Amino acid sequence: MKAEMASPAFAPVYAALVAVVNTKFPEIGLLLLHRVVGRWKRAYRSNDKPVCLALVKFMAHLINQGVAHELLALELLVLMLENPSDDGVEVAVDFCKDVGAYLQDVAPAGLHSVFERFRAILHEGSIDRRCQYIIEGLFAIRKAGFDKSGHPQVQAALDLVESEDQVTHEVSLDDAVDPQ
């Protein structure tokens, strides 16, 4: 977790490593997931944008790798877009870019409702002009296709775990978690 926080660009690599370890030791994958979610909740409450960005990138790739269930992604997006702030919307857009291809495959109705919320935020005009452009960029990425826009579900070189070997954990933001 510390290495991922220091270099979020390697989040896909760390998530692939966790996915491999998770096939043999699911308790470790679950523990890591609880810690990441707990840390994200603390960072989100304290408005620590750099930490939130790093953690949502890691969670997105954990979801893409099948370590975490897609409901976690939808919960995160709904929470961040419930009372939109400039930072929350920016974090939600980055998260949606990373997890969008996966959600398009497994939960298209959920992704559609998230994009409807983004559209409503645009029409409200309550956020900064820069954030509005970021949302419009996300709509362009969705229209072109996440894979074609440079946001694939899982990079081919990091697709290390067969789908039948994956152990997916259903962790919720509402879970009372003991990070141990």
Question: pLDDT confidence of 134, banded at 50, 70, 90?
Answer: very high
Question: pLDDT confidence of 178, banded at 50, 70, 90?
Answer: low
Please check whether residue 97 is in contact with residue 146, taking contact to mean a CB–CB distance below 8 angstroms.
yes
- Nearest to residue 73, comparing CAs of 115, 122, 118, 110? 110
Specify the pLDDT at position 136.
Answer: 96
Please check whether residue 166 is in contact with residue 66, taking contact to mean a CB–CB distance below 8 angstroms.
yes
- Domain boundaries along the sequence of the chain: 2-154
Please check whether residue 4 is in contact with residue 58, taking contact to mean a CB–CB distance below 8 angstroms.
yes
Alpha-carbon distance of 70 to 60, in angstroms, equals 9
Specify the pLDDT at position 125.
Answer: 86
- Domain range 2-154, CATH class: mainly alpha
DSSP 8-state class, residue 68: B
Alpha-carbon distance of 60 to 93, in angstroms, equals 12
- For residue 114, what is the enclosing H or E element? helix 108-124
Residue 158 to residues 11, 17, 28, 109, 147: CA-CA distances in angstroms?
A: 11, 9, 20, 27, 15
Please check whether residue 97 is in contact with residue 150, taking contact to mean a CB–CB distance below 8 angstroms.
no
Specify the pLDDT at position 32.
Answer: 93
Question: pLDDT confidence of 180, banded at 50, 70, 90?
Answer: low
Please check whether residue 83 is in contact with residue 127, taking contact to mean a CB–CB distance below 8 angstroms.
no
Question: pTM to 2 decimals?
Answer: 0.90
Alpha-carbon distance of 62 to 22, in angstroms, equals 11
